Chain A
Amino acid sequence: MAKIADPIEFELFKNAIFAIADEMAVTICRTTYSGVLRDNMDFSTALADENGKIVAQGLTLPGHLGSIPAALAVVVERFAGDINPGDMFILNDPFDGGMHLPDIFIFQPLFVGERRIGFAATISHHSDVGGRVPGSNASDSTEIYQEGLRIPPLKLFDRGKRNETMWSLIEKNVRIPIQVLGDLRAQLAACHIAETQFAELLARYGVDKVAVYMQEVIDYAERLTRAAVSELPDGEWSFEDWIDDDGIDLGKPIRLFVTITKSGDSMTVDWTGSAPQVKGAINSTLSFTVAHSVGAIRCVLPLNIPSNEGVFRVIKVIAPHASITNMVLPAACAARGLTGFRMGDCMFGALAMMLPDRVCAASDGGNTGVSIGGYDDDRKPYIYVDFSCGTHGGRPWADGLQGNSNMFANMASQSVEVIETEQPMQILSYEFVPDRAGPGEFRGGAPFRRDYRFLEREAVLQVRSDRREFRPYGLYGGYPGKPSANSLNPETENRSLESKITMNIGYDTVFRHELAGGGGWGDPLARDVNKVLTDVRNELVSPAAAFADYGVVVDTARWTVDMAATEAQRAALRRRRPAVPAKVMWQEPPLVDAAEG
């Protein structure tokens, strides 16, 4: 075990610096204006060293892991020699340090006199940054130029002086400036908190010690990560999964392919073999790919490892140039969240082969984005942006979570009643759908549906969903979850829609989205019959599906299991089906049966 010079003072310092990063996050959360930020927690905070290496990340979105160093690196390089006390930097350009346009980064350099000692860093997903479509998250843009305001690394404040040009330019280019400027203020407030508290840290420890300890906190995380990685088996594992399509080239599946190599105390994640970048807006930056690669690995490492540069030293991520995992101009990327979630699923697939008893089957594929926006009769704009996700895959020890945020999004739902007071909208249904979860010894999470009834004259409906053709995979004998579904006016015309939609809707239109069901883990015929009974009683599994998928015969009058009939049915099912594949079985079947639609 490595020795820290003064382990006690170090621990005190570490507590203090992570407390600052957390407090920044609390500040953003509490002062923010937009629903996306406040409920979906789509923001991150961090403290970095003077070179922009992260020392302490606050409680944040896993999808942002690793994005701050990439952005800070650009600022540090571009403004070398011109970073001064009182400066505040802003950027959102994905080709210049950013991730996608709605994610605006704000950085404040922290000084002692003239010596730069660190950076306070924040990212927030803003509710609109202009572009073609309200919410700036269209999945059908084909070039970055359609997606909104591109902000290269610039000074929002220069030695304390407000850059009025920048502020008014932002104000004129976004649909709801009150929200965007309010949320920018929340980011500034978080940096302000960091500055004040960092000053206290400097007063307590002195600048030199602070500088040393910041590096030590990074080294410490590296040591913890290496120690944990050393205990994993050495080897190489690949996994493949497909995104249905990019919404432009309909029906053309997009390949994700990852290879994890682990040797000694380091790991490499290589996305070579993944599809070239696509026309639709689901391309990701390298930083975003790094975030999901490292985030997935963190799920098999101990929880006490702090999030900082030290972790990234251990895990190397390679993504091929001009691919969907590492895009170049003029790729559109507003809806790249989808690719991120699916990279997470793909990583879990590879990790499941490496560590069969530690990883879950596929989730619903991450959140579906629904935005409904337009102008009311007084030409006042409104935007309703809703991300929902909810099912995890079955785990080697338990069923998949249901009605729960994706691991890579940790978002919260918005209150139906609040939506109805703020938006020209009603939510008519928000509940689990039976028989959609992937069967398994530990079944996938049950998906929910959401019915949106629109109450203005006219709006643009935008939907970004997936897992329609390529269903959430099951593992080790577990079956895939049922696909996601979109439909219009389900109670009347019940028109089926594509997975990615941009369309006009009018008054009283009802749009229904059903998430995909989580993949199952293990042989469903090995599932505890009492669990099946409970699912049937709770109307998450129908008696017919209990019989067909699990071989369990439930007496619904007395709520008991007919054990004899169950044994017979299970034996019959075992005889009829091919041997349970020992390995990952996502490929079976990858495509939705036409009959199942």
Chain B
Amino acid sequence: MANFRVGADIGGTFTDLVLLGEDGTLYTKKVSSTVGEYEVAIADGLSSIFEAAGLTADQIDEVLHGTTVASNAILEHKGARTGLITTKGFRDVLEIRTLRMPRLYDLHWEKPPPLVERYLRLDVNERINHRGEIETALDLDEVERVVKRLLAEQVETIAVCLINSYANDEHERAIKAVIERLAPDLLHCISADVLPEISEYQRTSTTVINAYVMPIVSHYLQQLSARLKAAEINAPLLLMQSNGGLINAGVAERKPANIIESGPAGGVVGAQALARKLDLPDVITFDMGGTTAKASLVENGEFTRSLDYQVGGGIMIGSRLTSGAGYHLKVPAIDLAEVGAGGGSVVWIDAGGSMQIGPQSAGAVPGPVCYGQGGVDPTVTDANVILGYLNPKFLVGGELELQAKKSHEVFQESIAGPLDLELAHAAYGAHQIVISNMIRAIRAISSERGRDPRDYALFAFGGNGPLFAAGMAKALNMRRIVVPPFPGLFSSFGLLYADVEHHYSRSMMQVLRDAEPGALNEIWGKLEQEARAQLAADGFRPEQVEIRRTANMHYKGQIFELTVPAPDGDFNPEKVALLEERFGQEHERTYGHRAGPEEPVMLVNAQLIGRAIPDHPPVPDRLKGMDVRAAAENSLRQAYFGPDLGWLEAAVLGRADLAEGRVGPLIIEEYDATCLVPPGAKARQDDFGNIVIELP
């Protein structure tokens, strides 16, 4: 009997489960999420797969999990009652934030309420300067009074963040000791453990978020473990982090700030792994669902990470500069750009006579007009029905009957009529405008960073990704598209490719060329020790451990850092110079220019990633049981391809029909997504089950 690994991805509506055997056998299941007790859907879903497939719980080797539990707690303000202890004079750092507003001219904008109210933010009289010297010593009696006051307020967790603690954590540790003495069972964290980096607001906000979600994440993971145990699944539980690596549940409980953006990470990790197999080192991932579209960059086989982001910052495009919308979290995360465009996005005409898409969305309920569930606004999905791209009778899979006629009527009445356009032309226009909106996400992660999308392949997934991929690629002059198996379940499937990974960092804030090689060795050496100790505790052998050093740097006076690989081994003056040169090259690549050699470069943070390499490749090349059927009945459907080509007959196929390669127009219908191959494009199924489309 084969052993299996489980990928479980929880979304607000559905929980996706994927079971993969070491021999490539695969089972998938989409079940409704059990809001409030998300663990129930996972355990029950697995049990029902076991039953249907004749598997037993002891065949499960590990459970890999992506979850939005932590981010939801923040977005819905349902985190724990949190106290914050900070330096005298800085009680309001958390609320003042960076002052910046995300929108101009908007008198209705509200600041996100601070996660800790002012009366639970208490300060202590202490001061450490930027060199780490204590100028005002901590008064432990005062600390005790402050902690007791928070306990009297019945806080469920305490965060501690003092000014300049990145340079000396002594006072924070002393406060931690007082908390542990007075309230041994209270969850708490100090910024020196969560984020020992410069910049008080980002550090405070990150530490507070960590404390704020700690009780919820901890409770959830314990419940989930209990459920799995009850179902006799005793395999280790690993969590996807925002950075694309896995950590065990115990570590996640202590550092929940690392799993906030756990949800969308799986798909990118999977895309990266498949791209490596396909020898496509440079890929742009494109994940489009019902309400949002996300893009990320995989370069030289590695996805890129951003150093920080805003939880609940909403749609980032157009507001990258005027950030301030969400809750600032400074932990590495897969760099995703997001726009509010999906199948449910509403199509409308503004007062200037221009067609607009979104940001309003019909969502899953009432959904597009063609769902017949009470939706009255024309949506992107309705446009796709009119264009013949989507099956006019039912949603693929056949669970929901569609009412194509309603799409036609509503679109004619509220869009095509007023704009004096032919219905098909108007629907095609909506399709194109969504594409132009989504392109901004791709530009944000490519051309705005000096990367030319033409050099990349487009890796498309999500329920709507494969439908729009060809249009996106064409608009960006990209030539190749890859649509993986189970595009609609890919976030879950992607979890199976991830490795266990721990990230560490330390603020340096010094001019690189003045740095003592010995001091650099010491810092990176210490981070490496931490990483190796953690991975050993995770059960990996020393030879499985891979260590990678990186450095955040900027020219003195700049603020946005660039991350470059730092040399391995002992530092010497040549290696320091090499690191500086790497930074100069990266600056030129990203921004098109670099400063002269006289200009000092600041080493802001030393970073290190410790990764465990599994003994066997986590996913076999050949999968069994995939949904690669040929279409039940091959048929033809009229589809509209713009004013030049007009209506053409497109073959409606299943993925398996592409073994030999076909030329578009084609429509590939699958259980969880529909893939559009435009006229003249060539599509084939490759050895790994991907649909590969080459545009003419």
Interface centre among A193, A223, A421, A428 (most CB of B within 10 A): A421
A212 at interface by CB-CB < 8 Å = no
A26-B448, A404-B111, A538-B117 given; A298·B105 CB < 8 A: yes
A299 at interface by CB-CB < 8 Å = yes
A7-B353, A15-B437 given; A189·B198 CB < 8 A: no
Q: List 13 extra interface pairs beyond A179-B557, A360-B107, A539-B118, CB under 8 A.
A: A4-B353, A15-B439, A23-B448, A178-B599, A182-B599, A224-B351, A298-B104, A388-B99, A397-B108, A407-B104, A407-B107, A417-B164, A429-B89
Interface centre among B111, B322, B559 (most CB of A within 10 A): B559
A26-B321, A417-B198, A539-B119 given; A410·B104 CB < 8 A: yes
Residues of B within 8 A of A3 (CB): 353, 419-420
Cβ contact of A26, chosen from B320, B425, B559, cutoff 8 A = B320
The reply to whether B557 and A182 contact each other, CB–CB distance below 8 Å, is yes
The reply to whether B89 and A178 contact each other, CB–CB distance below 8 Å, is no
The reply to whether B104 and A62 contact each other, CB–CB distance below 8 Å, is yes
B90 at interface by CB-CB < 8 Å = yes
In A354-378, the 8 Å CB interface with B consists of 358-360
- Shortest C-beta distance, B432 to chain A (Å), equals 6
A411 at interface by CB-CB < 8 Å = yes
The reply to whether B355 and A11 contact each other, CB–CB distance below 8 Å, is yes
- Shortest C-beta distance, A423 to chain B (Å), equals 10
The reply to whether A224 and B436 contact each other, CB–CB distance below 8 Å, is no
- Shortest C-beta distance, A113 to chain B (Å), equals 23
Residues of A within 8 A of B592 (CB): 189, 192-193
B313 at interface by CB-CB < 8 Å = no
The reply to whether B354 and A11 contact each other, CB–CB distance below 8 Å, is yes
Residues of B within 8 A of A410 (CB): 100-101, 104, 322
B574 at interface by CB-CB < 8 Å = no
The reply to whether A405 and B90 contact each other, CB–CB distance below 8 Å, is no
Q: Would you list 10 pairs from A and B whose C-beta atoms are within 8 A, ordered by A residue?
A: A1-B349, A22-B318, A41-B321, A304-B350, A404-B99, A405-B101, A421-B509, A428-B89, A431-B92, A432-B95
Residues of A within 8 A of B437 (CB): 15
The reply to whether A417 and B163 contact each other, CB–CB distance below 8 Å, is yes
Residues of B within 8 A of A329 (CB): none
- Shortest C-beta distance, B3 to chain A (Å), equals 48
- Shortest C-beta distance, B642 to chain A (Å), equals 10
The reply to whether B352 and A398 contact each other, CB–CB distance below 8 Å, is no
In A1-52, the 8 Å CB interface with B consists of 1-4, 7-8, 10-12, 14-16, 19, 22-23, 25-27, 29-35, 38-39, 41
B447 at interface by CB-CB < 8 Å = yes
Residues of A within 8 A of B590 (CB): 30
A38 CA to B98 CA in the complex, in Å? Answer: 12
B548 at interface by CB-CB < 8 Å = no
A178 CA to B555 CA in the complex, in Å? Answer: 11
B91 at interface by CB-CB < 8 Å = yes
B644 at interface by CB-CB < 8 Å = no
The reply to whether A430 and B89 contact each other, CB–CB distance below 8 Å, is yes
Q: Residues on B close to A: CB < 8 A?
A: 88-93, 95-101, 103-111, 117-119, 127, 129-130, 163-164, 166, 198-202, 318-322, 324, 349-356, 418-421, 425-426, 428-429, 432-433, 436-437, 439-440, 443, 447-448, 509, 555, 557-560, 590-593, 595, 599
The reply to whether A12 and B433 contact each other, CB–CB distance below 8 Å, is yes
Residues of A within 8 A of B428 (CB): 8
Cβ contact of A15, chosen from B92, B440, B509, cutoff 8 A = B440
A10 CA to B432 CA in the complex, in Å? Answer: 11
Interface centre among B88, B107, B118 (most CB of A within 10 A): B107
The reply to whether B99 and A8 contact each other, CB–CB distance below 8 Å, is no
Cβ contact of B557, chosen from A178, A402, A412, cutoff 8 A = A178
A298 CA to B104 CA in the complex, in Å? Answer: 9
Residues of A within 8 A of B318 (CB): 22, 59
Q: What are the 4 tightest A-B residue pairs by CB atom distance, in nearest-first order? A: A8-B429, A403-B96, A429-B89, A538-B118
A429 CA to B107 CA in the complex, in Å? Answer: 29
A388 CA to B92 CA in the complex, in Å? Answer: 15
A417-B198, A431-B89 given; A224·B96 CB < 8 A: no
A131 at interface by CB-CB < 8 Å = no
The reply to whether A420 and B557 contact each other, CB–CB distance below 8 Å, is no
The reply to whether B96 and A413 contact each other, CB–CB distance below 8 Å, is yes
Q: Residues on A close to B: CB < 8 A?
A: 1-4, 7-8, 10-12, 14-16, 19, 22-23, 25-27, 29-35, 38-39, 41, 59, 62, 178-179, 182, 185, 189, 192-193, 197, 220-221, 223-224, 227-228, 295, 298-304, 358-360, 388-390, 395, 397-398, 401-405, 407, 410-413, 415-418, 420-421, 426, 428-432, 448, 451, 537-540
Interface centre among B100, B104, B199, B418 (most CB of A within 10 A): B104
Residues of B within 8 A of A192 (CB): 592
Cβ contact of A411, chosen from B99, B118, B199, B355, cutoff 8 A = B99
- Shortest C-beta distance, A422 to chain B (Å), equals 8
Residues of A within 8 A of B119 (CB): 537-539
The reply to whether B321 and A403 contact each other, CB–CB distance below 8 Å, is no
A407 CA to B108 CA in the complex, in Å? Answer: 12
A397 CA to B108 CA in the complex, in Å? Answer: 9
The reply to whether B164 and A19 contact each other, CB–CB distance below 8 Å, is no
Residues of A within 8 A of B448 (CB): 23, 26-27
A448 CA to B559 CA in the complex, in Å? Answer: 25
Chain B residue at minimum C-beta to C-beta distance from A231 = B351
Cβ contact of A223, chosen from B111, B353, B355, B425, cutoff 8 A = B353
A405-B100, A539-B118 given; A12·B436 CB < 8 A: yes
Chain A residue at minimum C-beta to C-beta distance from B165 = A417
A3-B353, A11-B436, A539-B118 given; A432·B92 CB < 8 A: yes
Residues of B within 8 A of A29 (CB): 321, 560
The reply to whether B200 and A431 contact each other, CB–CB distance below 8 Å, is no
A417-B200, A432-B92 given; A223·B100 CB < 8 A: no
A420 CA to B163 CA in the complex, in Å? Answer: 11
A197 CA to B440 CA in the complex, in Å? Answer: 13
The reply to whether B100 and A429 contact each other, CB–CB distance below 8 Å, is no
Residues of A within 8 A of B349 (CB): 1, 7
A358 CA to B100 CA in the complex, in Å? Answer: 22
- Shortest C-beta distance, A204 to chain B (Å), equals 9
A10 CA to B559 CA in the complex, in Å? Answer: 37
The reply to whether B99 and A358 contact each other, CB–CB distance below 8 Å, is no
A539 CA to B109 CA in the complex, in Å? Answer: 24
Residues of A within 8 A of B425 (CB): 8
A15 CA to B93 CA in the complex, in Å? Answer: 37
- Shortest C-beta distance, B120 to chain A (Å), equals 9
A404 CA to B421 CA in the complex, in Å? Answer: 46
The reply to whether A1 and B436 contact each other, CB–CB distance below 8 Å, is no
A388 CA to B130 CA in the complex, in Å? Answer: 22
A407 CA to B322 CA in the complex, in Å? Answer: 12
A10-B354, A29-B321, A38-B560 given; A407·B105 CB < 8 A: yes
A182 CA to B426 CA in the complex, in Å? Answer: 48
Residues of B within 8 A of A540 (CB): 118
Residues of B within 8 A of A295 (CB): 105
Residues of A within 8 A of B163 (CB): 416-417
- Shortest C-beta distance, B133 to chain A (Å), equals 12
- Shortest C-beta distance, B588 to chain A (Å), equals 11
A417 CA to B164 CA in the complex, in Å? Answer: 6
The reply to whether A416 and B111 contact each other, CB–CB distance below 8 Å, is no
- Shortest C-beta distance, B199 to chain A (Å), equals 4
The reply to whether A430 and B350 contact each other, CB–CB distance below 8 Å, is no
Cβ contact of A417, chosen from B96, B130, B354, B599, cutoff 8 A = B130
The reply to whether B321 and A401 contact each other, CB–CB distance below 8 Å, is no
Chain A residue at minimum C-beta to C-beta distance from B418 = A1
A238 CA to B436 CA in the complex, in Å? Answer: 44
Cβ contact of B100, chosen from A34, A41, A302, cutoff 8 A = A41
Cβ contact of B130, chosen from A19, A25, A420, cutoff 8 A = A420
Residues of B within 8 A of A31 (CB): 558, 591, 593
- Shortest C-beta distance, B412 to chain A (Å), equals 15
The reply to whether A39 and B104 contact each other, CB–CB distance below 8 Å, is no
Residues of B within 8 A of A4 (CB): 353-354
